[in-house]
Structure 1
C-alpha cells in the first residue's frame, strides 16, 4: 500500500492559522504572527509563509496592510479603496471615469484588427468572427500604486457610413466624444464578475498568489438598440470595492 504524502509545509501553516482564526484565538482586526516568527516556528523560509498567507487571503480570512503586517479580516470590514464606477460627461464635452483617478497608459495603445470571439460577440450582439478595432493597455494611477488592464473593442459594423470606415476610431474614453460627434446619445451598462488571473495578468498587475480579479465589461449603447462599443477591465480584487450611484 503506497505511503500517504505529507502535507506541504505551507499547508500546515495555513491550516494552523485558519484554525486559530475560526476558533477566535486570532480575533477579527487583530494582527497575526509576523512572517519571521512563523518561519522560525515552522522551520521554513519566508516565501513558504507567504504562500500560506496567500491561501488565506484567497479564502477571505486575512488581509495584508503595507508596512503594518498581516491581520485577520473582519467580515464587516471595509476595503482600503472604494472605486466609484461609471462614466461622467463633463460640461466641456469630455467623458471621464467616475472614480476621478488619472489613469495613464504604460505604452501608447495601438489599434489592431481582431475577430470577435463568442463571449464578446454575444455582448456586442454581432456574429462571432466579425472584425473589431481593438486597443489593449496596462494602465496605472496614483504614481503606479494602482494598476488595471484595459481594452476597447469597436465593431466595424458600428462605423459603417462614418469617417471611421477609413481610419481607426480612438480608444475609450475619447471614443465616446467621437461617437457623440456622430450624433449618438450614449448610455452604459456594466457587468462584473470575479475569476482567477492568467499568469501574464497576475504579472502585469503584480498580484500575489491566490488573489482574484474583478473582471468588468462596459457596454456602450447609442441611439439604436445594438451596442456600439465594449470596454473590458481587469482590476485586482483583493482590497477594493466598487460603488455604483443611480
Structure 2
C-alpha cells in the first residue's frame, strides 16, 4: 500500500532502496515464523546478528522487526530480544502490508483485476486527501480483488498524479499495486490513516461481489503516504461481509484506534 523516495521522487527509478530491503527481510522472517522455524516463545536473533545475516544496516533490520511486531507475530519489552508470540496472522492496522501480503500469509490465493483506469480531475475530497491543488489530474482505478477465486473486495482508488503513470503501466492482473510500486519504482508506503464503517451494497458493488443489492459491506477508506508524508493513494475498499476481520492492538502506551463520528 516510497519511503526513501521523498517529495521529489517520481514513478521512474527502479533502484532498490533500504525501504524495500526491510520488506524482504520482514517477509523472510515472517515465513520462518509461520513455518515453525521459530516456535512460539522462541527468541529471534539479535538485531546485529540479523543485520550480519542479510548484510543490512541495523536500522533496516529494526524496520523489518517492527513490521512483525505490528502484526502481532513477535513482541518484547523495550531493550529485550523479540519473542515469537503466535503463528497465525491477522490483518492489523499496526502494519501497512498490502492485501496480497496479508492473504498470502493466510495461505490464500490472491487474484486481482483492473476493471477501469481513468485519468480525470480530482474531486474536492480526493484533492484534500492527496494534498493536491483542486482539480489536479489523478488516476481513478476500479479493481476487483478475489481470494481463492471468490470475489472479496471492490477497490476504488485515486492515485496521486506523481505515481499515476507507474500504476497505468501495471498489467491488468497485477496482484498488488503497492508491492509493485515498491519493487519497480522505490515507492513505499510508510504511513496510513484508516476509516472503517459499514454500508449497503449498491448496484455495481452487488454485481461485482455476487451479493444482493443492499447487502452489508465492510468499508475501509485509507490514505497511504511516503516516509516524508507525501500522499500516494486515497482508497475506498468494500469487503463482502464475513470475508475479513481487522485487528487493532493497543496498550496503555499506544492507542492506534480512535472513535469518530460517522460523517467522515
Q: Provide the TM-score with structure 1 as the length reference.
A: 0.50
Larger Rg: 1
Structure 1 or 2: larger strand share? 1
Which structure is richer in relative contact order (CA contacts within 8 A, separation 6 or more)? 2
